[in-house]
Amino acid sequence: MQLFGSSAMPLFKYRRLHYTRRKHVKALPATGLATSMHDELTRLVESVPQNGNRKAFETEMQSFLSLFTRYLAEKVSKEELDWDKVMAPAENQIVPYDNITSSVDPMSLQKLAVLKVNGGLGTSMGMTGAKSALEVKNGMTFLDLTVKQIEHLNTTHNLDVPLILMTSFNTHEDTLRIIKKYVDQSVNITTFNQSRYPRIVKESLLPCPKTASDENPAWYPPGHGDLYNALVHSGVLDQLLADGKEYLFVSNSDNLGAVVDQRILEHMIYSRAEFLMEVTEKTKADIKGGTLINYDGSTRLLEVAQVPAEHLDDFKSVRKFKIFNTNNLWIDLKALKRVMDRGGMDLDIIVNPKVTEKGETVIQLETAAGAAIKHFKNAHGINVPRSRFLPVKSCSDLLLIKSDIYAIENGELLISPERMFATTPVIQLGDHFKKIQQFQKRFKDIPTIIDLDHLTVTGDVYFGRDVTLRGTVVVIANEGQTIHIPDGCVLENRLLMGNLNVIEL
């Protein structure tokens, strides 16, 4: 079902805006830009019919205006991160997973709700619908696996752990259609839509849309940091509290490693932490991931977009910052209610530049959900095993998930006991495999890779049926060449070139 907030504050009827209360926003250019934005947003609100859910849209635009005026204020003040204050986290700011309690009470799960951030389209993989509808294993989608996990939890312990899906305007209708098939399963599913903010023309700093009904390219979902406002405005937060839920486990829908962990829930209850962030050890693939830092004695999330250019190498180094944020978050709902009732959170703004299909340069003001850590008491990180971070961001990731490396048990992906190593192979597929349609066309079926260490494929390559890859395998088709790996082929520690030369590695 979908829940909507019922009490939108009519803030746009006032000509003077809240940004005038901020002492550091006194520069005339910034004030003028804020006034111009206010006027444009007012026109957007007035373009919604009175019976067309205008109040909800008005509330959304007020939240956007608050974000925009804060962005202007930061531009005027030119406040930058003081890199000398950026320190690696202290020992008490990140707790090793092995150090948390192994004693669990299944009834604690009755206080839990699970939320999946489900707003992505998977455009980088050539998808047009909700990414969570992609089949990833044994004909099952991301959502199928999640529902299977929650259903198993509920039936095993006779519980009612609800599943909540935060969609975007890009995925909402698609998601509502998909979840109809779960109606007979032991999972109560709630959906709500995150905010829809107007893209900003970079040159004028005015909104792209001219009316509220302008087509989707004029709008954007403002990142997963919008979670907290959206929970409040939709009414979902109050409903969860009314249902006796006290804790919320949040993760991205494409992270197949993000399953409910009772040990982490028990640790949260025992330690009275109001917010937990799961972090894990960096690899070369994770150097751009946000990390927890000690900043003036407080625990903060630092994203790569916030790092001054001259300190990027320091940020990416594993010597100082050894962990990164998985975006698996555990939140105390009563504490969240308290924080939001006291005025909400000023999350760090991430400026995301984009170029539209028409060639217009725009910016999107976004926030990260993990940045909320600084607003909660006793908040800290949990250094979890890498297995809890298993996102599918590319077709290379998809090949790994679809392979015999992983088995499914009650919706959870587990490394096959036949795999000799605890680590998974490194897979790098070239641009010819970038889109899902190309990926599906180039594999007659998924190769056997249980004994694979590394696979690199470049160029126009096709795989036959029953192919086996072992050790290190490199396949390179030069420009103008095509390689067809025949049915039943076994490649072990081999380099295969475009002229079909096979070299032992």
Which residues are designated catalytic?
393
| Cα 46 from Cα 134, distance rounded (Å) | 38
Q: Are strands 197-198 and 219-220 parallel, antiparallel or unpaired?
A: antiparallel
- DSSP lists the bridge partners of residue 443 as 463
| Cα 390 from Cα 453, distance rounded (Å) | 17
The verdict on whether residue 364 carries a ligand-binding annotation is no
Record the tokens describing residue 481, joined without a space: 């060449």
3-state secondary structure 399-433: HHHHCCCEEEECCEEEECCCCCCCCCCEEEECHHH
Contact 249, 269 (CB under 8 A): no
Q: Tell me the CB-side half-sphere exposure of residue 392, using CA atoms within 13 A.
A: 28
| Cα 373 from Cα 368, distance rounded (Å) | 10
The verdict on whether residue 131 carries a ligand-binding annotation is yes
Best CA proximity match to 346, nearest among 365, 327, 326? 365
The verdict on whether residue 26 carries a ligand-binding annotation is no
The verdict on whether residue 152 carries a ligand-binding annotation is no
Letter for the amino acid at 72? Answer: L
| Cα 41 from Cα 19, distance rounded (Å) | 15
CA distances to 100, 247, 470 from 382, rounded to whole Å, are: 9, 16, 35
| Cα 420 from Cα 425, distance rounded (Å) | 11
| Cα 502 from Cα 486, distance rounded (Å) | 14
Rounded to 5°, the CA angle 66-130-449 comes to 125
Record the tokens describing residue 22, joined without a space: 């901020």
Rounded to 5°, the CA angle 5-7-8 comes to 95
Rounded to 5°, the CA angle 378-379-381 comes to 130
| Cα 127 from Cα 142, distance rounded (Å) | 14
Looking up tokens 């470049």, which residue turns up? 458
The verdict on whether residue 149 carries a ligand-binding annotation is no
Burial class, 92, CB count within 10 angstroms (exposed 0-12 / middle 13-18 / buried 19+): exposed
| Cα 446 from Cα 421, distance rounded (Å) | 20
- Where does 78-183 have alpha helices with state H? 142-157, 172-179
The verdict on whether residue 78 carries a ligand-binding annotation is no
Q: Is 55 helix (H, G, I), strand (E, B) or coil?
A: helix
CA distances to 45, 326, 366 from 371, rounded to whole Å, are: 30, 13, 11
Best CA proximity match to 167, nearest among 330, 286, 10, 2? 2
Looking up tokens 């040990």, which residue turns up? 263
Looking up tokens 């937060």, which residue turns up? 237
Detail the residues annotated as belonging to a binding site: 131, 194, 223-224, 254, 393
Detail the residues annotated as belonging to a binding site for substrate: 224
Detail the residues annotated as belonging to a binding site for UTP: 131, 194, 223, 254, 393
